[in-house]
């Protein structure tokens, strides 16, 4: 692993590289000399340590704000992207998923797992890493941790949706499920939507206590509650973010009145939901990408032709968001590849200014592109 050396090229410019540029990047070395990696071999890599440095240098509120702008920009050009439901490998313990997409110039994917029983075994429920690559030649331009980045992008996505769907002037949010994602959600709703008070509930009191501690200096009024019913009292926004590999019932129909926005992010797998069917049925439902949400979201409980609106249509003005004060809106979020693409694009754009990355010798790049075999031989005889 080397420290960053060559200046980075914006992801969007990679496709215009000329043959001369490639030669210059690869460098000219005599054919017989033992191979040193060419510049084309190196891929910028953001470790967990460097991701934390990026967050701390830019500042969490600024990063959430800037990332939400990247998300909205990509939602606006939704139709340019390749889209498909993510590829999921299910087991009795959880799921491992690959989430690919491309805008024609840049390709991105995330590897992510979801193992609700992990917490009790001392592992995290969700971990992730991701890649951006040039469509023009397939070479990666970024490899990064995405466990932290997923928490940031999920929080930023929730707030982008709430901007169009939550009641005007909402100031109180209930946060049910106080695990990993919790404080990121709260920070984003405070920074970007002006939420003043958050009411926390988790079946595990240690999780709530942890969130109370972490939010102590956030400037938001934090109330620890003893039940979901207590938590939702007076809340105009209810976020559910629990992890359980079953059809759970975190909210029942009789718990929720009118004029509420539900940000349901925890139910994201077949057989893993958080809301009672009658509540889902009563709500006006907004989703990221309907073909994936029908498999993984709350709406897996409804008939496959139940009416839903994709968020990008609202952002583009092609469909209505909240249309009355009394409306019950539901953002049935499962997390979609384009959101990770936006987050990867954002991180890639921060590398040059923050310098918080290393370069991995990751792509085998022989002087003669056909002579991979010879490159190994020359390395062996060096």
As annotated, the active-site residues are: 268
DSSP one-letter code for 174: E
Contacts of 27 (CB under 8 A, 6+ apart): 38, 39
Residue pointed to by tokens 């790049």: 365
Nearest approach, Cβ of 228 to ligand NAD (angstroms)?
A: 6
Nearest approach, Cβ of 160 to ligand NAD (angstroms)?
A: 12
b/e per residue 245-278 (b: at least 16 CB within 10 A): beebebbebebbeebbbbbbbbbbbeebbbbbbe
CA distance 196 to 191: 10
Nearest approach, Cβ of 354 to ligand NAD (angstroms)?
A: 24
Nearest residue to ligand NAD on Cβ basis: 179
Residue 66 or 244 with smaller CB distance to ligand NAD: 244
Q: Which two tokens stand for residue 37?
A: 């990696």
Residue 106 or 263 with smaller CB distance to ligand NAD: 263
Q: Which two tokens stand for residue 352?
A: 């040059």
Residue 82 or 204 with smaller CB distance to ligand NAD: 204
Neighbours of 136 (CB within 10 A): 13
The sign of the dihedral angle between the CA atoms of 220, 226, 229, 233 is negative
Residue 114 or 321 with smaller CB distance to ligand NAD: 114
Nearest approach, Cβ of 226 to ligand NAD (angstroms)?
A: 11
b/e per residue 79-118 (b: at least 16 CB within 10 A): eebebebbebeeeeebbbbebbbbbeebbbbbebbbbbeb
Nearest approach, Cβ of 308 to ligand NAD (angstroms)?
A: 15
Is residue 146 within 8 Å of residue 200, measured between CB atoms? no
The residues binding ligand NAD (CB under 6 A) are: 114, 119, 125-126, 150, 154, 176-181, 202-204, 207, 241-244, 248, 250, 265-266, 268, 333-335
Map residue 139 onto helix, strand or coil.
coil
Residue 51 or 176 with smaller CB distance to ligand NAD: 176
Nearest approach, Cβ of 222 to ligand NAD (angstroms)?
A: 16
Neighbours of 34 (CB within 10 A): 11
CA distances from 165 to 186, 226, 286, 334 (A): 17, 28, 9, 17
Residue 9 or 193 with smaller CB distance to ligand NAD: 193
């Amino acid at each position: 692993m080397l420290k960053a050396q060559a200046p980075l090229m914006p992801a969007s410019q990679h496709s215009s590289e000329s043959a001369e540029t490639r030669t210059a990047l690869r460098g000219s070395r005599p054919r017989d000399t033992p191979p040193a990696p060419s510049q084309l071999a190196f891929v910028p890599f953001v470790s967990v340590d460097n991701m934390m440095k990026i967050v701390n240098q830019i500042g969490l509120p600024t990063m959430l704000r800037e990332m939400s702008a990247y998300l909205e920009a990509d939602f606006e050009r939704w139709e340019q992207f390749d889209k498909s439901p993510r590829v999921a490998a299910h087991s009795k313990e959880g799921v491992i998923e690959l989430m690919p997409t491309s805008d024609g110039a840049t390709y991105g994917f995330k590897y992510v797992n979801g193992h609700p029983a992990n917490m009790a075994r001392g592992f995290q429920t969700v971990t992730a890493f991701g890649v951006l690559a040039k469509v023009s030649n397939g070479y990666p331009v970024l490899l990064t941790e995405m466990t932290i980045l997923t928490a940031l992008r999920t929080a930023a996505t929730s707030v982008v949706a709430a901007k169009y769907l939550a009641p005007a002037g909402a100031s109180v949010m209930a946060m049910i499920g106080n695990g990993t994602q919790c404080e990121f959600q709260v920070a984003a709703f405070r920074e970007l939507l002006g939420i003043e008070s958050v009411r926390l509930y988790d079946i595990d009191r240690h999780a709530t206590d942890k969130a109370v501690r972490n939010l102590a200096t956030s400037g938001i009024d934090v109330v620890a509650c003893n039940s979901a019913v207590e938590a939702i009292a007076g809340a105009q926004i209810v976020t559910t973010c629990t992890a359980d590999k079953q059809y759970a019932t975190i909210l029942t129909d009789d718990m929720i009145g009118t004029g509420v926005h539900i940000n349901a992010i925890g139910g994201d797998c077949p057989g893993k939901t958080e809301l009672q069917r009658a509540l889902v049925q009563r709500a006006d439902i907004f989703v990221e990408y309907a073909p994936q949400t029908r498999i993984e979201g709350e709406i897996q409980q409804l008939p496959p032709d139940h009416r839903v609106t994709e968020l990008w249509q609202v952002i583009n003005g092609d469909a209505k968001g909240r249309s009355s004060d009394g409306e019950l809106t539901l953002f049935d979020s499962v997390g979609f590849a384009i959101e990770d693409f936006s987050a990867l694009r954002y991180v890639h754009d921060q590398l040059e200014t923050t310098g918080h990355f290393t370069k991995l010798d990751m792509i085998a790049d022989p002087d003669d592109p056909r002579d991979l075999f010879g490159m190994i031989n020359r390395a062996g005889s060096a």
